[in-house]
């Protein structure tokens, strides 16, 4: 049977959300610069949703948009906008205004204030593993390349190979990586704080359990390149040798 020329499907994956808590242009510019210096490769060309729910008034949205783009972010939409005139202004500048469904939001990354988000979005070039039962485990035995995103819904994820920089592993359950991991790893994506990450060669750009995360420079140096298990203890990320 011949495939349709195009298909539009819903899919689940992770995006950064930039929360603006101040409309001072100079402060936004300095805050973005400081945040990017913490992990330049992670934020470079990153797609981002800009949330403006914390702002009561925005006088120059166009200038704010230019500052964010200047720092290398790709804005894919704006959320939290309650002003109809501002909505029309944002749309006129080529951006969609998104409405948030709180049931779909589990984690946040707040660029100016530090927080990770699961956002329902339509996207074509994404590699997703889905399951209906939480008991099921997904096993990937091929390398996970840069740009690939694997999501194990209501399941554990096991990768028996290497994970390249720029790749992303997301699971509602635990994540096991029997290889070198250089990408992003997010376990407990549905908010389960009991989930863990296990890996045999830790070089990750980001690790996260239920929204609590470390960027690469926050991972204790003695565990870089080593086998490790990562989990939450008293709501704080904890790392120990594996075995």
Q: Does a structural domain hold residue 142?
A: yes
Please answer whether residues 170 and 14 qualify as being in contact, where contact means their C-beta atoms are separated by less than 8 angstroms.
yes
Question: Is 120 or 174 the better-scoring residue by pLDDT?
Answer: 174
pLDDT at 211: 84
Q: Which helix (H) or strand (E) holds 35?
A: helix 25-38
Average pLDDT of span 125-140:
54
Domain of residue 101 covers 10-122
Q: Is the pLDDT of residue 210 over 70?
A: yes
Average pLDDT of span 47-56:
88
User: Is residue 152 domain-shared with residue 115, that is, in the same domain?
Assistant: no
Q: Does a structural domain hold residue 232?
A: yes
User: Is residue 97 domain-shared with residue 168, that is, in the same domain?
Assistant: no
> Which CATH number fits the domain that encloses residue 19?
3.30.70.260
Strand partners, 198: 176, 229
pLDDT at 110: 34
Overall pTM surpassing 0.75 (yes/no):
no
Q: Is the pLDDT of residue 159 over 90?
A: yes
Interhelix angle 84-92/61-70, rounded to 10 degrees, is 50
| Total domain count, the chain | 2
**Segment 4-26, tens digit of pLDDT:** 788 777 655 567 788 898 888 99
User: Is residue 71 domain-shared with residue 168, that is, in the same domain?
Assistant: no
């Amino acid at each position: 049977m011949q495939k349709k020329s195009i298909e539009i499907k819903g899919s689940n994956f992770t995006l950064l959300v930039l929360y603006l808590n101040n409309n001072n242009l100079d402060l936004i510019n300095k805050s973005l610069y400081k945040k990017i210096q913490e992990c330049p490769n992670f934020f470079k060309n990153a797609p981002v949703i800009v949330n403006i729910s914390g702002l009561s008034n925005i006088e120059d949205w166009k200038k704010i948009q230019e500052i964010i783009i200047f720092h290398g972010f790709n804005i894919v939409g704006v959320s939290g906008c309650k002003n109809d005139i501002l909505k029309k202004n944002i749309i006129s500048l080529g951006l969609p205004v998104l409405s948030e469904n709180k049931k779909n939001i589990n984690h946040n990354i707040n660029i100016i204030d530090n927080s990770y988000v699961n956002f329902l979005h339509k996207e074509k070039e994404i590699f997703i593993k889905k399951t209906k039962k939480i008991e099921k485990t997904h096993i990937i035995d091929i390398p996970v390349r840069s740009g690939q995103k694997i999501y194990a819904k209501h399941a554990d994820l096991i990768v028996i190979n290497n994970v390249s920089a720029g790749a992303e592993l997301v699971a509602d359950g635990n994540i096991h990586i029997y290889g070198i991991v250089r990408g992003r790893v997010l376990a407990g994506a549905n908010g389960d704080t009991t989930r863990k990450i296990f890996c045999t060669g830790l070089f990750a750009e980001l690790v996260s359990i239920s929204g609590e995360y470390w960027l690469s420079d926050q991972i204790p140096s003695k565990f870089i390149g080593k086998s490790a298990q990562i989990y939450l203890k008293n709501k704080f990320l904890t790392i120990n040798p594996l075995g």
